[in-house]
Amino acid sequence: MMNIGIDFAELWQPNISGIELFSAHIVRHAFAKHFHETYTIGMNDAGLGEFWYRGQTCCAVPNSFNLINPGEVHTGQAASNQGWTFRNIYISTAQVHHILTQLEWCDRPLPAFIAPIVWDQSLRSHFHRLFVALSQPTSHLTRESLLLEAFSQLLLRHTQSHLALRSPKPETKAIAIVRDYLETHYAESVSIDVLAKLAGLSPYYLIRTFHQQVGLPPHRYQRHWQLLQAKRSLCSTKSLSEIAVEHGFYDQSHLNRLFKQAFGITPGQYQKRNSVQYESEVAL
């Protein structure tokens, strides 16, 4: 459990280009005037913080966002005895260019945030899921998809770009191709750009039309198909660790966590129950 009287900070790079993650709880430390070459998206989780930006002091309260453009000077410090707990996602301009292309906005200039502090609870849910996905063992497709979902909403709501998304339409043939590919390559690392090329659609449009027609976005479809194949293997004599690796999970704990989310029980419980059923059937 975090000691609220002690400063803590962690900065790391997840396995996705152009992104860094920062998690901190500060009480005494104060960030001097500085700037980043990246966009800064900050989630204020607890306590109270404040920072100087564009000639004014901004208050960072729980559940709000801090949005800072590349190259803009700012500070940062706690503004209460309880300190300030927050998480930042730093994203490079090159990665933002790539996201704009994936969103069909490749002809637009780099966006600029309108305000340094915003309240947006649905957007916060998007970025919380993204931060967790980038911090834990998750598939490449999951990370890319959540990144596009979060940033599309951020750019639509809180920048000066005046952007709009194309409405998804039925793409039956393209969706069939993508489903077949995901089922065949369920245990492999799959990129949304590869799927988009197969389908002949842009990446984020593909995600939205796939979700509309199938009921799940591509990354969740791949994960559930992966779980179904692992579930079948639980009826074999293979160990849980073997099954996990064979079906593309990072390790047994990764399989356990996702299996229980999907089916309500652990793989071990399912395997044990099936063993009892088979023994009973043999005895009869």
pLDDT per residue as tens digits for the range 71-100: 999 999 999 999 999 999 999 999 999 999
Give the closest residue to 135 by CA, choosing from 231, 252, 12: 12
Per-residue pLDDT reduced to its tens digit, 128-145 = 999 999 999 899 999 999
CA–CA gap between residue 130 and residue 268 (Å, rounded): 29
Q: Which two tokens stand for residue 57?
A: 């002091």
Q: Is the pLDDT of residue 4 over 80?
A: no
**pLDDT at 202 (0 to 100):** 97
- pLDDT band with cut points at 50, 70 and 90 for residue 158: very high
Q: Which CATH fold topology does 172-275 show?
A: Arc Repressor Mutant, subunit A (1.10.10)
Backbone angles phi, psi at 74, to 5 degrees: -155, 170
**pLDDT at 276 (0 to 100):** 38
**pLDDT at 275 (0 to 100):** 45
Give the closest residue to 52 by CA, choosing from 114, 112, 116, 113: 116
- pLDDT band with cut points at 50, 70 and 90 for residue 19: very high
Amino acid at 144: E
- pLDDT band with cut points at 50, 70 and 90 for residue 8: very high
Q: Is the pLDDT of residue 284 over 70?
A: no
- Which residues does 86 contact at the CB level (< 8 Å), separation at least 6? 23, 24, 42, 43, 44, 45, 49, 60, 66
- pTM above threshold 0.95: no
Domain chopping of the chain, boundaries: 8-158, 172-275
Backbone angles phi, psi at 9, to 5 degrees: -150, 145
**pLDDT at 2 (0 to 100):** 54
Amino acid at 138: T
Per-residue pLDDT reduced to its tens digit, 27-63 = 999 999 999 999 999 999 999 999 999 999 999 999 9
**pLDDT at 271 (0 to 100):** 86
Cross-strand pairs, 20: 90
CA–CA gap between residue 171 and residue 177 (Å, rounded): 10
**pLDDT at 30 (0 to 100):** 97
**pLDDT at 134 (0 to 100):** 97
**pLDDT at 161 (0 to 100):** 78
| DSSP 8-state secondary structure symbol assigned to residue 110 | P
Is 80 within 8 Å of 118 (Cβ atoms)?
Answer: no
Q: Is residue 5 classed as helix, strand or coil in its secondary structure?
A: coil
Give the number of C-alpha atoms closer than 13 A to the C-alpha of residue 31, restricted to the C-beta side. 21
CA–CA gap between residue 156 and residue 73 (Å, rounded): 24
Q: Is the pLDDT of residue 264 over 60?
A: yes
Report the CATH superfamily, name and number, of domain 8-158. Answer: Regulatory protein AraC (2.60.120.280)
CA–CA gap between residue 149 and residue 163 (Å, rounded): 14
Out of 14-23, 38-47, 106-115, 157-166, pick the least confident. 157-166
Q: Is the pLDDT of residue 178 over 60?
A: yes
Q: In what order do the strands lie in the sheet with 30-34?
A: 30-34, 74-78, 49-53, 56-60
**What is the chain's percent helix, strand, coil content, to nearest 5?**
45, 20, 35
Could you identify the residue written with the tokens 């459990």? 1
